Amino acid sequence: MSSGLTIGVDIGGTKVLGGVVDAEGKVLTTTLRPSPAQDPAQIRAVIAQIIRELRADHDVDAIGIGAAGWIDEKRSTVLFAPNLAWRDEPLRDSIMSEVDIPVVVENDANVATWAEFRFGAGRKANSATLFTVGTGIGGGIVLEGQLVRGAHGIAAEFGHTLAVPDGVTCGCGRSGCLEQYASGNALVRFARQDALTHPNEARQLLEHADANPAAITGPMVTNAARKGDPIALGAFNKAGGYLGEALADIVQLLDPDVIIIGGGVINAGELLLTPARERYNAVLNARGRFPAAEIVAAEMGPEAGIIGAADLARR
């Protein structure tokens, strides 16, 4: 008889988090290990160790793994992971060789999107998109209740759509990607540049950084913006504006019920969401009376990865 329980494992560049999740999206227990990111064999060993530990106290039906990388269309192989030493890694088969239950592998942004759609900010929607705004920008798409993966399993790379023609060079090799203008890294770049050229306006921000613009970090920008620092607020306005432009494009392409903003930068809340909404509404003004997706903050927090991976495994 099915237990209704599944395991979700969320693999990042610094940590591996695993948890047992029930059919309602409730996390019953978790375990955390450092991620040996540069050693594929050790990463597999850590995943297997986490699974064995969780299965010791719970009867589970399947295992879902969310990995920060490009996953093939069969949800089996990690084609490439920018922050992990995986290149054409047959992760599903490797893990299944150590366990006797089904395993599914999925992109980390996709599993977070599914968690929000099923149990979080998109639970009342029929179609939803998620933008994960952190060091970079990722995303996921659910249309008519189905996760959209694309022909090769690598759809919804929102961070690598064009924001500024011939703009800043991106790590993907293109120039002007959204990731270079609306991510956490972009926020810090904007703040550092403006603090350097307008130090008198950046007093509060520079106090956090010991008067050194190069030492400014994302949390410093958020803290200074909350205190009204004009340079920090300006950085959020720039990043939010570029994000709002991209969200308007997504509405034109996909027409979702809701657009969810997640990732580490969403901890700044309305500092990011307000300028994003303002630009989004301005760009879509020409649509007149046509409805447009609401922009909301993600709700599932740091456990979204394990919840989404576990629920996809259950299906």
Identify the DSSP state of 170: P
Q: What is the CATH number of the domain that holds 27?
A: 3.30.420.40
> Quick check: is 273 in a domain?
yes
Strand blocks (E) in the chain: 6-11, 15-21, 27-34, 63-67, 70-71, 78-80, 87-89, 103-107, 128-133, 137-143, 146-147, 258-262, 294-297
Q: Render pLDDT for 204-251 as a digit per residue (tens, 0 to 9).
A: 999 999 999 999 999 999 999 999 999 999 999 999 999 999 999 999
199 and 278 share one domain: yes
> Quick check: is 1 in a domain?
no
Pairing of the two strands 27-34 and 15-21: antiparallel
39 and 130 share one domain: no
88 and 166 share one domain: no
* CA 216 to mean position of chain CA atoms: 23
246 and 128 share one domain: yes
145 and 285 share one domain: yes
Structural domains counted in the chain: 2
pLDDT higher at 73 or 287: 73
214 and 75 share one domain: no
Domain span at residue 23? 6-115+303-314
Give the residue from 46, 38, 27 showing the smallest Cα distance to 119. 27
163 and 278 share one domain: yes
Q: Render pLDDT for 176-200 as a digit per residue (tens, 0 to 9).
A: 999 999 999 999 999 999 999 999 9
27 and 81 share one domain: yes
> Quick check: is 98 in a domain?
yes
151 and 52 share one domain: no
> Quick check: is 80 in a domain?
yes
Q: Render pLDDT for 162-180 as a digit per residue (tens, 0 to 9).
A: 999 999 999 888 999 999 9
